[in-house]
């Protein structure tokens, strides 16, 4: 019998491989909804190689808010912490971002450079890091905090 971590990893790798071409082409990113699927490309913290993952994100004033309940088990979130420069495909178009990551037991300081609407959403979401949620804001690279 396979360990649960291996089953979880294999499940997400299979799902990601199936979704990646669709998200790169622009599916999953309807312009009418603030919550969408996007494809993000991080840099592997150990390999230095590009790693792409579909994630659910909320788009607010050009910023993407992403999170995972997998916490420290989430490899893409660990990669964001190690190398915060990230690319995301939104509606089929690649855009460059800079990530700020919050994880459990970390101070919840929010950069003042974020729009008020992003700061308001974070004030509601960041307390959930106490339950193991890891949250990141991807700010447009030209407006990084």
DSSP 8-62: HHHHHHHHHHHHHHHHHTTTT--TT-SEEEEEEEEE-TTT--EEEEEEEEEEETT
144 pLDDT band (50/70/90 cuts)? very low
User: Going from the N-terminus, what domains does the chain have, and what CATH number goes with each?
Assistant: 4-143 (2.30.110.10)
CA dihedral 11, 15, 17, 21 (to 10 degrees): -170
Reply yes or no on whether the pLDDT at 14 is more than 70.
yes
Please state the rounded mean pLDDT for residues 92-120.
90
Residues in the chain, overall count: 145
What percent helix, strand, coil does the chain show, rounded to 5?
35, 35, 30
Q: Global pTM?
A: 0.80
* Average pLDDT, rounded, for the chain: 84
């Amino acid at each position: 019998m396979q360990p649960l971590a291996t089953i979880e990893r294999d499940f997400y790798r299979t799902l990601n491989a199936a979704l990646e071409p669709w998200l790169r082409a622009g599916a999953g990113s309807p312009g009418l909804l603030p919550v969408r699927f996007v494809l993000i490309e991080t840099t592997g913290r150990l390999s230095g190689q590009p790693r792409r993952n579909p994630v659910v994100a909320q788009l607010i004033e050009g910023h993407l808010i992403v999170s995972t309940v997998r916490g420290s088990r989430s490899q893409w979130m660990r990669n964001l912490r190690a190398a915060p420069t990230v690319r995301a495909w939104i509606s089929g178009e690649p855009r460059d971002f800079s990530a700020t990551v919050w994880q459990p037991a970390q101070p919840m300081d929010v950069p003042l450079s974020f729009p008020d609407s992003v700061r308001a959403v974070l004030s509601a979401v960041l307390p959930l890091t106490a339950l193991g949620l890891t949250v990141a804001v991807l700010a447009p690279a030209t407006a990084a905090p």
